[in-house]
């Protein structure tokens, strides 16, 4: 059995999640857990421009911006926000 990826939230992502209502944040956390369990079989959506090197995970109207360290089997969550304004933060 393949070991799942660990997940680490950067401070900004943790703050983002705290601002989202409980129902949506639980849905987001469930999707992140799914990603950690299925990381090697998922087709990751790469971002471009100033977000190059990062990936997005769609969770309804929300986006989770993440990167990964394959050798450490670690997913790093950078930002979480509504699709309308997640890319305006930088």
What number is the average pLDDT over the span 18-38? 97
Burial of 32 per CB tally in 10 Å (0-12, 13-18, 19+): buried
Least Cα distance to 16 among 7, 25, 5, 8 occurs for: 25
Residue 2 has pLDDT above 80, yes or no: no
Which residue ranges form the domains of the chain, and what is each CATH number?
6-39+47-88 (3.30.2310.20)
pLDDT recorded at residue 1: 64
pLDDT digits (tens, 9 = 90+) for 29-62: 999 999 999 999 999 999 999 999 999 999 999 9
The reported pTM is 0.92
pLDDT recorded at residue 77: 98
> What distance in Å separates the CA atoms of residue 80 and residue 88, rounded to the nearest whole number?
12
């Amino acid at each position: 059995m393949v070991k799942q990826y660990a997940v680490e939230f950067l401070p900004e992502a943790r703050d983002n999640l705290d601002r989202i209502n409980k129902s949506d944040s639980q849905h987001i956390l469930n999707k992140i857990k799914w990603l950690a369990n299925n990381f090697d079989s998922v087709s990751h959506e790469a971002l471009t421009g100033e977000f190059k090197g990062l990936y997005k995970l769609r969770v309804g109207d929300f986006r989770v911006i993440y990167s990964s360290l394959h050798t450490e089997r670690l997913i790093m969550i950078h930002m979480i926000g509504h699709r309308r304004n997640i890319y305006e933060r930088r």
